[in-house]
Amino acid sequence: MPSPRSRPSVVVLLASAVAFLGLGPAAAPASAATVPVGSGSYSDTRPAGTSGPTTNTGTPVTPKVTAAARNRPVPTNDWWSSLAFQRYGDNPYSNPMYGHPLTYQATSGGLDVGYPTSPSIVGDGRQYEYAHKRDLTIGLTGLNSPDTKADDWSDWTVTPLWSDGSRTLRTTIGHGSPFVYAEGTGGDARITTAGTPNVFADQGNVLGITVAGHHYALFAPSGSDWNVSGSTVTAGLGSKNYFSVAVLPSTGALATFKKYAFSFVTGSKATWNYSGGTVKATYTLTTEAKEGSERGTLQALYRHQWLHTTDPLTSYTYVSPRGTMKVRESASFSTSQKAAAVLPALPKSDAVDTARLRGYLNDVVGASDPFSGATDTYWTGKALGRLAQLVPVAEQIGETGTRDRLLGLMKGKLQEWFTAGGASEFSYDKDWRTLTGYPASYGSDTELNDHHFHYSYFVYAAAIVAQYDPAWAAESAWGGMVKTLVRDTANPSRTDSAFPFLRGFDVYAGHSWASGHQGFAAGNNQESSSESTNLSAALVLWGSATGDTSLRDLGTFLLTTESESIAQYWFDADEEVFPSSFRHDTAGMVWGSGAAYATWWTANPEEIHGINVLPVTGGSLHLGREKDAIRRNIAEMERENGGPAVEWRDLLWEFESFADPAKAKAKWDAGHAGYTPEEGESKAHTYHWLTTLDSLGAPDATVTGDIPTSAVFTKGSARTYAAHNHSASARTVTFSDGKTLTVPARSTATGTGSGTTDPDPDPDPTTGNTFQLRSGGTLTTATDGTAGSDTIASAGGANHDGTPNRPLVYEVRGVDATLDPGAKTAFRLQVDAGTSVGLGQQARVSFDLTGDGDFERTETYHYFATDPVTGWEEYTQARGLKAATGNLGDLKGGTVRLEVWSAIGNGTAQLRTGTDKSVLVIPYS
C-alpha cells in the first residue's frame, strides 16, 4: 500500500481493473517457533488471530504450481502472478496477463492470446488501457483442463501448464516475446480464433492468418499441415510435441519470423554491472532448437530499454501501453545508463538558519510519540523514514544530542520489530517463502502486496543507523534481520531456496509491481513508484555503509533502471507514451494494460501527483533529471486542484525544487506557517531541503561521480559537487566531466570540483587550541610530526565501558589558557581494529587547572565500535558524553590529559599519532 490513507478493494475510477546472504533459513524453517538471526529473530508461525495469503473470500491458499516447481520460491508480485495465486476461488486459471506486445489469459481449453493496439479511455477520461481482448486460443483438440499451474519461470518468462488427464499443454510466454512456444501431448495442435481468420499465407506447416486486424503466424513441425475450418485451425503433430505462434508486425515479416519459429525460448536472465558512474545491463534468452540449428530469436524492447542500447535493431515495431516497442534480432541485448545519484542527505549549506532548524528538530524529538501511534509495517516504516532523514541534518548543525536521540529511537523501534514474540514481529510463511510483518496492512499479509514499499523504510532507516554505528549493523547483531528483509523484497540470488529472486521488481518491465496476486482485469499495478525506488536507494546506502558492494550495485541497477521507467511510464517525460486521447501529463498508477490518473484511496489531485514523489530523500535526486516533465506535472496539479497544493504542499514544494528550487523556496516562505506536514515529512526536513537546493541549485543528472553516493547540483553556471564516503579512509571521487572531490572518511563533502573539499560536517571545531598526539605520550601544538601509531591494549573480553583499563595516556603540562564560554572539548582520533570483531575504543579527557595533580574536570565519552575492516576510522566527540565530573576554568600552568583504552573486545587496536588526523581540541583560547 503506497498511500497514507485507507485503501478500498477497488481503485478509484478504474472501471476495468477489478543462504545467499548467509542469514535466515537456508530453506523453509523446520518446527522452531522462533528463528534466531544475529541479535534478532523472526517467527515461523503467524501470530494468533492473523492471516496469511487467502482467496477473496478468506480461504487460505497455497501456490498453484506443478510438482516440478513445488520446491521453488514463487516470485509473487509479477506480471503473471495470477497463474500461481488463486485470488478468486472460481477462477483456477488466471486473470489477464500483459506480456507486451501480447496479452494472455489461461482458460480450460488453453491460452487466450491478444494483441491490443487501440487504447480506450475509461473512468471519466482518467484511465487509458490497452485491454486484453482474445484474438485466438492456443490449445489441443479436446483439452479441458480443470486448472492451470505455473510449471517453470525465469527472469521475465513463465511456463503455464494444463492437464486434463489425457492431454497436457505447456506454453512459454514472456515480456517482449512475439512468440508463444507450445508443447503438447494427447491431441493435435488447435488454434481457435475469435472470428473467421483471413489466410494470407499457406506453406503447409506455416500458416499466416489475420484476426481482428492483427497478423499471426502459426508454425507446426515440418511435415505437418494446418487445416482451417471456420474459426478452428488444427495441425497434427505426428511424433513431435511442439508448435509455436507469433504475432507479426506485418505480413511481410513472415519469412524472418519463420527463421526462429523452432528456436524455443527456455529461459531469460538479466545481469548488471556498475562501474565508474555507469550502469550496464544485459538481457539474455536461452533457447533450444526444436528443428534445425537456429538458436537466435526475436525480442521486442520497451522504450526504457531501446533508448539506452547501441545494439542494432530491426525496422519492426509493436504497439504497447508503454509506447512503441522495437524489435531486436538476437538472443540478447545490452543497455548502458548514467547511474542515478544517492546521498544520505542533502549536504550542508550556509544558507540554512541553524537556530530555526534546531527549533524544527526539537519539535520532532520532543514529540510525546515520535511514531504517531504507528503499529503496522507501513505506518511504522513511514515514521522510521521521517526520523532517518533528520539524523544527518542534525549532525550538520552540531546537534549531536538530537542526532543520537533520533538514532536511539530508530534502533529501539527496529529492534522491537526485529525480535519475534512481541506485539510486532516478522513471520516467515514456508508455503509462499515470504517474510510478513505483523501487524500487517493494506493486504501485505493476505494478498502479499507492497512488501517493497513497507520494508523500504525499514532498510533505509537501518542504513542511516549503520552509517553511524557499524557494530549495530553487523550481521551478528541487527544487520542479519535487515538482510533478511532485503532477501524477501529484492533478493539478488536465483538459488536461494527461502526467497524468490527480486520478488517485486520486474527486470524487463523496468519497475516493480505491487499486487501479490495480480487478480485484476487490467493486470498488475504499481501506484507509488517512489516508494519502490526508496528500497533501491536504501540498498545503495546499506551496501555502502556495510561494505557490501554487491548489494550496493544491485540497488544502483534497480534505481537507475526504474528511474527511466518512471520518467517514461508515470510522467511521460518525452511525451511519447501516453495516447493523445489521455489528457493528462502524469499517471498516479501504472497497470499492465495502461495507466490511470488516480490513486487507490482518493481522486484528490495533490495525492495523485504526490504519491509518486514520497518519500523525498537523498535517493530521490533522480527525479531532477526530467525538469520539463516536473513543470508540466506541477502545472497540471494546480489546474486540477483549482490552485496550489494545500494538503501535501510540502511534498509538492520539494518535487518542484528538483526543477525550480527558487520558486519552491518562495512557496515555502509564503506558506510554511500554517500547514501540517505530510505523515512522512517534517518541517525540519522540508526547510532544510528547500533552503539547501535554493542555495546549491537543482540536481544535475548529466554529470555522475564514480561512486553511487555522489551527486552534482547546478545553479546558473556554477556546479557544486557532493559525495558521501562511507569508508574508513579518505578517497577522491572523480566525476564524468573530469572534476574531482576529495572526501574524508565517513563524511559528506562538497566542492567546486577542483579537488578541494568542504567536509560536512566540519570535523575540526571552530574554537580552541589543537594538540596532536605523539607516540611516547605527548600532546603538542607542533605540526611537523611523522605519522605513526600506538597499540591500544585488549580489553581481554571484559567490559571496561567508562573505566580506563591499561590506557594510552597523552599529556601536555604548563598550559596557560582562557576558557571560552560555551565552547566544548572536541577530538578526532583515527583508530583501526584491523579484522578484529566486536572491539570498542573509549576516550577520557581530564583537566588539571593548576598543575597540582588534582584534575578538577573529567569528560568520558561513549566508546566507538570499530569495524572488522582494515583501515583507519574516525572516533570523534560526536559519539557524545557518557559522563562528566567537575567544572572547567582558566588554565594556569595546568595539565591536559587524554586517555584512550579498549572498552570492550578481545583484541588490540591501533591509534594513529604524529599527524593532524588525530587531534585534541580544548575549549580555550
* 669 carries an active-site annotation: no
**Amino acid identity of 848?**
D
If one counts every other C-beta atom within 10 angstroms of the C-beta of residue 334, the result is 16
Q: Is 553 a catalytic residue?
A: no
Is the CB of residue 866 less than 8 Å from the CB of residue 839?
yes
Q: d(Cα 23, Cα 38) in Å, to the nearest integer? A: 8
CA dihedral for 130, 134, 136, 137, sign (positive or negative): positive
Distance, in Å, from the CA atom of 83 to the CA atom of 111, rounded to the nearest integer, reads 12
Task: Outline where DSSP puts E strands in 175-311.
Answer: 179-185, 189-193, 198-202, 206-211, 214-219, 227-229, 232-235, 242-248, 263-275, 278-289, 298-301
Q: Sign of the CA dihedral 578, 584, 587, 591? A: negative
Catalytic, out of 425, 450, 506, 660: 450
Residues composing the chain:
925
Task: Mention every residue, 6+ apart, whose C-beta is less than 8 A from residue 565.
Answer: 304, 509, 510, 511, 529
Task: Choose the catalytic residue: 506, 531, 706, 790.
Answer: 531
Report how far residue 728's alpha carbon sits from residue 467's, in angstroms, rounded to the nearest whole number.
11
**Cell digits for 186?**
494427447
> Is there a contact between 855 and 906 (Cβ–Cβ < 8 Å)?
no
| Amino acid at residue number 798 | A
Please give the angle made by the CA atoms of 474, 460 and 512, to the nearest 5 degrees: 120
The CA distance from 291 to 260, in Å, is 10
Backbone angles phi, psi at 488, to 5 degrees: -70, -40
Return the number of other C-beta atoms located less than 10 Å from residue 701's C-beta.
21
Judge whether 450 counts as a catalytic residue. yes
CB-CB contact of 714 with 697 (8 Å): yes
Considering the candidates 44, 469, 527, 873, report the single residue annotated as catalytic: 527
Give the integer Cα–Cα distance in Å for 445 and 53. Answer: 6
516: three-class secondary structure by DSSP: coil
In whole angstroms, what is the distance from residue 563 CA to residue 568 CA? Answer: 9
The neighbour count for residue 169, using CB atoms within 10 Å, is: 27
H/E/C letters for each residue in 407-423? Answer: HHHHHHHHHHHCCCCCC
Residue with C-alpha cell 547483531?
477
Cell of 896: 591536559
Among 513, 561, 565, 500, which Cα is nearest to 536's?
Answer: 561
Angle at 471 between CA 469 and CA 476, to 5 degrees: 140
Sign of CA dihedral 887, 891, 892, 895: positive
CA-wise closest residue to 234 among 148, 110, 133: 110
Stretch (H or E) spanning 861: strand 857-861
State the sign of the Cα–Cα–Cα–Cα dihedral 411, 417, 420, 424: positive
* Of 874, 815, 888, 883, residue with least CA distance to 841: 874
Listed residue (303, 314, 267) closest to 173, CA to CA: 267
**Helix (H) or strand (E) segment spanning residue 751:** strand 747-751
Pairing between strand 740-743 and 754-755?
parallel
The three-class DSSP label of residue 786 is coil
Q: Which residues contact 452 (CB under 8 A, 6 or more apart)?
A: 77, 489, 490, 503, 504, 505, 512, 514, 531, 532, 535
Identify the helix (H) or strand (E) that includes residue 864. strand 864-865
- How many other CB atoms sit within 10 Å of the CB of residue 718? 10
- Count the helices and strands in the chain (H runs, E runs): 15, 53
Query: What residues are labeled active site?
Result: 450, 527, 531
